[in-house]
Structure 1
Amino acid sequence: MANLFEAIPDGLPEELFEEVVSGRGVTVERIVSRGHTSPASGWYDQPRHEWVLVLKGQGVVAFEGGESVTLGPGDHLTIPAHRRHRVAWTAPDEATIWLAVHYD
């Protein structure tokens, strides 16, 4: 048994990405952020769709073209494959725990 809210390091020099489970065409991962953002030098351009859910904390996902979405606990978002995006902000004073599902 495991718990998505446990085993979070006190210090997070980088975002923490952990695969929870994967199977045919689907990968589920836990992402933990604490004031982290995507590298300013680029955008994520993923070959698979991504459904992301914020379990705890807050974050802002920005899309190429200027749109941004603020997510808090319980908020979720589907990002189609190849839609260029980045994490523009996460709460600096608490862990933001994301559940991300990547699928074909």
Structure 2
Amino acid sequence: MLDNLFSALPALNPQADEQFDDLLRRPGLRIERIVSSGQASAPGFWYDQAEGEWIVLLAGSADVRLEHEAQARRLAAGDCLDIAPHCRHRVEWTAADEPTIWLAVFYDAGATTTRD
């Protein structure tokens, strides 16, 4: 378990795998930190998840493409995106010269949410 989201960062290496760290798991909820350094989804690969995913970029930058959109979205630190269940998406690009740190919140698609 991490005690700081910016600790234990892997070395910058686009050929290495991204680092995935579970921060919290509860029924219908999973929060993880993802650290990228130049990685992207494999050509032709699309994520298609049964759960919703809310992401915020804490550091770095990335391009995320939603299948139903013509162009990828450029995300920078502080940008967030809610990806609906079964919304096919992919990571087109992440910065290779700095860590890209994602906070991803996966939630049960049947959960009801409210916002104050």
- TM category (shorter chain) comes to over 0.9
Return the match for 1:99 from 99, 103, 108: 103
Cα distance per residue 1:13-51 (max 9 Å; x no partner): 011111110102000000000000011131000010000
- What SS does the aligned partner of 2:90 have? strand
User: Percent identity, aligned pairs only?
Assistant: 46
Q: TM-score, normalised by structure 1?
A: 0.94
Structure with more of its chain in strand, by fraction: 1
Q: Which ranges in structure 2 are unaligned for 5 or more consecutive residues?
A: 109-116
1:43 is paired with a residue whose SS is: coil
User: In 2, Cα distance between the equivalents of 1:77 and 1:85?
Assistant: 12
Looking at structure 1, the residues matched to 29 and 64 of structure 2 have their Cα atoms a distance apart, in angstroms, of 22
Give the match's secondary structure for 1:17: strand
Partner amino acid for 2:9? I
Please name the residue that 2:8 is paired with: 7
Kindly indicate whether residue 62 of structure 2 is the aligned counterpart of residue 31 of structure 1.
Answer: no
> Runs of 4+ in structure 1 displaced over 3 angstroms?
none
Q: Which amino acid aligns with 2:87?
A: R
Q: Structure 1: give runs of 5+ residues left out of the alignment.
A: none
For 2:35, the aligned partner's letter is V
- Select 2:60's aligned residue among 57, 65, 68: 57
| One-letter amino acid matched to 1:59 | A
Number of corresponding residues: 104
Q: Is the 8 A contact 2:12 2:99 kept in 1?
A: no
CA distance in 2, matches of 1:70, 1:9: 23
Partner of 1:68: 72
User: Over the residues paired in the alignment, what is the CA RMSD in angstroms?
Assistant: 1.2
Correspondence for 2:111: none
Structure index of larger Rg: 2
